[in-house]
């Protein structure tokens, strides 16, 4: 899919297809080209031929997996982001590559799957947003902000779930709960890495004084950097919380196991001497002095009961029970 928006100097927006790429543009006008699921060879010819983009940057944009990056050229800027895919609503997320090529009078966005962030800004511009005439660099920042905004609900949703898991630890220490925590830890680690890349990219970009002319534009990019930095910090905090919950789960299970072993040990210690007595008097020797005692059976039972009571009292005094 290839779609275009042509923005005139007075902010009037015209939508169309490939014909707008070759259309004559008045001075001050700029063009936004959005590419999705285009054949890579045709896409590369368009980007390198018509827009004069660096072939290596185009190759990076077309790769299925590549860390977020920033490259500045004499006549433009290449920004590669990782956005959440259209189906992501919680921490079980998947990412897509979103490439932005920013020139003096054009913005090219490229993604291999639907991007809700790009669609959101595209629709705003097509509807005649008041900032339509601000130019490609400003709208690239708005796309980046939309990419950052989608990470917020994912992190906040995880926080709510972790609060519930913390309460459930004391009620139901199941393997399913442990499996859920380990899964969260893996996903948050991946999310933290992605956000850290973004934070570094926008920190570097916000310091580019030659590119960000004007206080409003600079503030917009600084704001995206601060947002990515905040989300990266939150993801680190949640990863530590998940690790604490895993440790707490293991500790609670270990404590429960110790209690069970303590009870079994007490039972074993009580029955060992009783079993010894039963074993002794269960021997079939003819000449055993106690066998002829008139009250031998009652005396043995009383001795066994006395041993059991004494041991129970001792364990109670030692606070084992």
Q: State the span(s) of the chain assigned CATH 1.20.58.340.
A: 258-317
Q: State the span(s) of the chain assigned CATH 3.30.460.20.
A: 1-133
76-84 β-sheet, strand order: 13-16, 2-7, 30-36, 106-111, 95-103, 76-84, 69-73
In this prediction the pTM is: 0.77
pLDDT of 291 higher than 80: no
Please list the residues that pair with 70 across neighbouring strands.
79
Distances (CA, A) of 13 to 25, 118, 126: 12, 17, 6
Q: How confident is the model at residue 209 (pLDDT cuts 50, 70, 90)?
A: low
CA angle 211, 66, 205 (to 5 degrees): 15
Task: Tally Cβ neighbours within 10 Å of residue 307.
Answer: 17
Question: Distance (Å, rounded) from C-alpha 196 to C-alpha 230?
Answer: 10
CA angle 34, 40, 45 (to 5 degrees): 80
The pLDDT assigned to 25 comes to 79
Question: Distance (Å, rounded) from C-alpha 184 to C-alpha 47?
Answer: 39
Q: Is 107 helix (H, G, I), strand (E, B) or coil?
A: strand
Question: Distance (Å, rounded) from C-alpha 82 to C-alpha 65?
Answer: 9
**Mean pLDDT score of the chain:** 84
The pLDDT assigned to 150 comes to 92
Among 231-240, 280-289, 302-311, the minimum mean pLDDT is found in: 280-289
Q: List all residues 6 or more positions away from 271 whose beta carbon is below 8 Å from its beta carbon.
A: none
Task: From the options 3.20.20.140, 3.40.50.970, 3.50.40.10, 1.20.58.340, give the CATH code of 258-317.
Answer: 1.20.58.340
Contact, 29 vs 8, CB < 8 A?
Answer: yes
Q: List all residues 6 or more positions away from 91 whose beta carbon is below 8 Å from its beta carbon.
A: 154, 157, 158, 161, 184, 187, 188, 191
Q: Which fold has domain 1-133?
A: Beta Polymerase; domain 2 (3.30.460)
Distances (CA, A) of 1 to 20, 115, 149, 224: 14, 13, 25, 28
Phi (first) and psi of residue 16, to 5 degrees: 180, -160
The pLDDT assigned to 210 comes to 56
Q: Tens digit of pLDDT for each residue in 94-148? A: 999 999 999 888 899 999 889 999 999 989 888 888 788 788 888 898 999 999 9
């Amino acid at each position: 899919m290839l779609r275009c928006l042509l923005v005139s100097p007075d902010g009037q927006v015209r939508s169309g297809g490939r014909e707008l790429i070759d259309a004559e543009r008045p001075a001050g006008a700029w063009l936004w080209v959005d590419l999705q699921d285009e054949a890579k060879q045709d896409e590369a010819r368009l980007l390198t031929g018509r827009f004069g983009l660096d072939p290596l940057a185009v190759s990076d944009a077309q790769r299925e997996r590549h860390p977020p990056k920033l490259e500045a050229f004499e006549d433009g800027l290449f920004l590669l982001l990782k956005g959440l895919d259209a189906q992501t609503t919680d921490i079980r997320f998947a990412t897509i590559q979103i490439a932005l090529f920013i020139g003096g009078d054009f913005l090219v966005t490229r993604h291999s799957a639907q991007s809700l962030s790009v669609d959101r800004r595209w629709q705003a511009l097509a509807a005649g947003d008041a900032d339509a005439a601000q130019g490609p660099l400003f709208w690239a920042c708005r796309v980046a902000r939309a990419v950052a905004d989608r990470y917020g609900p994912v992190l906040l949703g995880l926080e709510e779930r972790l609060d519930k898991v913390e309460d459930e630890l004391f009620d139901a220490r199941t393997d399913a709960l442990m499996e859920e925590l380990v899964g969260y830890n893996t996903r948050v680690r991946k999310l933290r890495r992605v956000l850290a890349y973004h934070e570094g990219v926008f920190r570097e970009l916000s310091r580019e004084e030659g590119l960000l002319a004007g206080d409003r534009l600079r503030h917009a990019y600084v704001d995206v950097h601060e947002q990515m930095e905040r989300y990266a910090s939150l993801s680190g905090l949640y990863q530590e919380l998940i690790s604490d919950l895993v440790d707490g789960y293991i500790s609670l299970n270990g404590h429960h196991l110790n209690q069970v072993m303590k009870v079994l040990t007490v039972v074993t210690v009580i029955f060992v001497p009783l079993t010894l007595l039963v074993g002794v008097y269960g021997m079939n020797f003819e000449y055993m002095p106690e066998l002829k005692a008139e009250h031998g059976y009652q005396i043995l039972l009383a001795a066994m009961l006395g041993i059991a009571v004494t041991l129970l009292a001792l364990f109670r005094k030692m606070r084992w029970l």
